[in-house]
């Protein structure tokens, strides 16, 4: 099933982003009356084609990109009557506009996707930090430099935008836990909020999320699992395992992990009534126990740690722009680190990893999938603008030289540069694919 989700998610994600990218080239070419011969999603042998107007629309066998083929005298004879519509006959600024339109529309599309997420709204888990040892409770991060943060992704993005030596203002609100007996549920924390305060926070990039304690409430039973065979149901609250009380989901995970292959008695609460259930705990390859249940986040997470994010259209556009800028700077920083050797090339991901991420995001819901689509669209646009021959950025660089100097680069130089660019791209593609295989095999 996970393979099916990965293939489906990958097909939707790549299909949409490639279409958007190539449509940018196509739309600007048509705007300048340049003849477009073919619009293809995919490379290689054509699987399906249809003629609409003067353009052939096609689906090709290798679904890892696409292309727009324009009339060009460098690729074959062009009738005299159509030479003015050939791409190579256009002034440099028009060629730059056509080539740049693809990656730029990817950047704009990412902004629109992020804005759509903020406009439709979603629920998230607030970023929480544990306070110093002398203080109790939790810190919930609300703002970083006056920008609201609603999740760990928001917080990490805001942190990465800062330099290591700088300080950022972080607004925190505290939550104190009430005294609880062993079986108390966590109720709304009226009267226990601590006034929000502004603290100077030395920005570090090694902050890690600290989840609040989750109540041991079952949200999902995996098919064929020990939990299903024992008759456990979604909504059951695990009270004790082997006679030992459990207070939070972490207790359940740790207890079951140590009971692989053993028969154990669970005390559960179902519709307010305690029951006893005997379970044969499963065993993983590493010998650890497996129960086959997932936590119910909606019931298990206390209300102060949830956030409903939703904006009006204008503010959603502004928040979408801010989110896009965060991802843009993060991508640039990662590229810079790779070039300087601060980050290893093992961080590169290829189509297999993207397919896995797509499947996971599809299962998690539309917010995760759209967020991934926006991030990949932004990365696609940025990477295509790199001044590497064969990429859009390389073509822009050649045309920019011709525009500024008044003559094109020697053809021999362009051919040699394209060969170097091809070698670089093939190396990066093979490296990314090998990284994918290593992750797939070794995890």
Question: Does residue 231 share a domain with residue 175?
Answer: no
Output the pLDDT for position 4: 82
Confidence of residue 193 (pLDDT cuts 50, 70, 90): very low
Question: Does residue 225 share a domain with residue 204?
Answer: no
Output the pLDDT for position 424: 83
- What is the extent of the structural domain holding 129? 123-212+304-309
Q: Long-range contact list for 366-370, CB < 8 A, 24+ apart?
A: 367/117, 367/122, 369/9, 369/13, 370/113, 370/116, 370/117
Output the pLDDT for position 415: 86
Given 239, 271, 300, which residue is the final one in a domain?
Answer: 300
HSE-CB at 24 with a 13 A cutoff on CA atoms is 25
Question: Does residue 438 share a domain with residue 321?
Answer: yes
pLDDT > 60? residue 181: no
Residue 54 DSSP code: T
**267: β partners:** 240, 276
pLDDT tens digits, 335-365? 777 777 666 666 677 777 788 888 878 877 8
Tell whether 243 is covered by a domain: yes
Q: Which residues are catalytic?
A: 22
Mean of pLDDT over the chain? 79
Output the pLDDT for position 247: 87
Question: Does residue 269 share a domain with residue 328?
Answer: no
Report angle CA 76, 82, 85 to the nearest 5 degrees.
90
Helix-, strand-, coil-residue percentages of the chain, each rounded to 5:
50, 25, 30
Given 269, 300, 331, which residue is the final one in a domain?
Answer: 300
C-alpha distances in Å from residue 164, one per residue of 62, 206, 438:
43, 11, 32
Tell whether 222 is covered by a domain: yes
Confidence of residue 261 (pLDDT cuts 50, 70, 90): confident
pLDDT > 60? residue 50: yes
Answer for the pair 24, 39: CB distance below 8 angstroms, yes or no: no
Question: Does residue 320 share a domain with residue 411?
Answer: yes
* Rounded CA separation 290/88 (Å): 64
Question: Does residue 377 share a domain with residue 295?
Answer: no
Confidence of residue 204 (pLDDT cuts 50, 70, 90): very low
Question: Does residue 280 share a domain with residue 335?
Answer: no
Confidence of residue 166 (pLDDT cuts 50, 70, 90): very low
What 3-state DSSP class applies to 45?
Answer: strand
The first and second tokens of residue 274, run together, are 């305690």
How many structural domains is the chain composed of? 3
Output the pLDDT for position 123: 76
* Rounded CA separation 379/83 (Å): 36
- Find the CATH number of the domain harbouring 290: 2.30.42.10
Share of the chain above pLDDT 90, in %: 30
Tell whether 226 is covered by a domain: yes
pLDDT > 50? residue 72: yes
Tell whether 151 is covered by a domain: yes
pLDDT > 80? residue 172: no
pLDDT tens digits, 110-145? 999 999 999 998 877 767 665 555 555 566 676 766
Tell whether 260 is covered by a domain: yes
Output the pLDDT for position 177: 38
Given 275, 300, 325, which residue is the final one in a domain?
Answer: 300
Question: Does residue 293 share a domain with residue 347?
Answer: no
Question: Does residue 250 share a domain with residue 335?
Answer: no
pLDDT > 50? residue 188: no
Tell whether 61 is covered by a domain: no
pLDDT tens digits, 397-423? 999 999 999 888 888 888 898 888 888
The first and second tokens of residue 389, run together, are 């021959």
Answer for the pair 357, 372: CB distance below 8 angstroms, yes or no: yes
Question: Does residue 339 share a domain with residue 443?
Answer: yes
Tell whether 53 is covered by a domain: no
Output the pLDDT for position 355: 82
Question: Does residue 376 share a domain with residue 320?
Answer: yes
Closest CA to 93 of 431, 399, 394: 399
pLDDT tens digits, 315-339? 999 989 988 888 888 778 777 777 7
Question: Does residue 412 share a domain with residue 363?
Answer: yes
Tell whether 418 is covered by a domain: yes
């Amino acid at each position: 099933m996970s393979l099916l989700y990965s293939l489906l998610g990958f097909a939707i994600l790549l299909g949409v982003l490639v279409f958007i990218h190539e449509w940018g080239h196509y739309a600007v070419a048509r705007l300048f009356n340049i003849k477009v011969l073919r619009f293809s999603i995919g490379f290689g042998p054509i699987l399906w084609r249809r003629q609409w107007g003067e353009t052939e629309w096609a689906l090709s066998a290798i679904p890892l990109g696409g292309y727009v083929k324009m009339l060009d005298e460098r690729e074959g004879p062009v009738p005299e009557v159509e030479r003015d519509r050939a791409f190579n006959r256009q002034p440099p600024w028009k060629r730059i506009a056509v080539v740049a339109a693809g990656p730029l529309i990817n950047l704009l599309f990412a902004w629109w996707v992020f804005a759509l997420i903020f406009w439709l709204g979603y629920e998230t888990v607030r970023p929480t930090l544990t306070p110093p040892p002398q203080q109790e409770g939790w810190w919930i991060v609300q703002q970083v430099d006056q920008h609201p943060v609603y999740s760990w992704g928001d917080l990490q993005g805001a942190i990465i935008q800062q330099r290591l030596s700088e300080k950022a203002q972080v607004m925190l609100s505290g939550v104190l836990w009430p005294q609880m007996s062993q079986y108390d549920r966590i109720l709304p924390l009226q009267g226990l909020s601590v006034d929000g305060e502004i603290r100077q926070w030395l920005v570090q990039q090694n902050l890690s999320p600290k989840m609040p304690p989750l109540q041991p409430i079952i949200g999902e039973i995996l098919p064929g699992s020990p939990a299903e065979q024992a008759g456990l149901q979604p909504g059951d609250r695990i009270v004790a395992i082997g006679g030992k009380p459990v207070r939070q989901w972490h207790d359940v995970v740790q207890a079951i992990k140590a009971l692989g292959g053993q028969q154990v008695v669970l005390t559960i609460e179902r519709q307010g009534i305690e029951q006893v259930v005997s379970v044969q705990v499963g065993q993983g390859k590493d010998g650890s126990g497996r129960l086959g249940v997932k936590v119910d986040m909606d019931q298990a997470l206390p209300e102060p740690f949830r956030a409903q994010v939703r904006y009006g259209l204008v503010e959603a556009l502004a928040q979408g722009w801010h989110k896009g800028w965060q991802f843009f700077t993060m991508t640039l920083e990662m590229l810079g680190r790779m070039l300087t050797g601060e980050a290893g090339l093992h961080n590169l991901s290829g189509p297999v990893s993207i397919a896995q991420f797509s499947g996971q995001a599809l299962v998690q819901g539309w917010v995760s999938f759209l967020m991934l689509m926006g991030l990949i669209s932004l990365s696609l646009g940025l990477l295509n603008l790199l001044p590497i021959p064969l990429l859009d950025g390389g073509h822009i660089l050649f045309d920019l030289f011709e525009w500024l100097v008044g003559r094109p680069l020697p053809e021999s130089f362009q051919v040699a540069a394209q060969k170097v660019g091809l070698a670089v791209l093939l190396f990066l593609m093979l490296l990314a694919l090998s990284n994918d295989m290593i992750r797939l095999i070794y995890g």
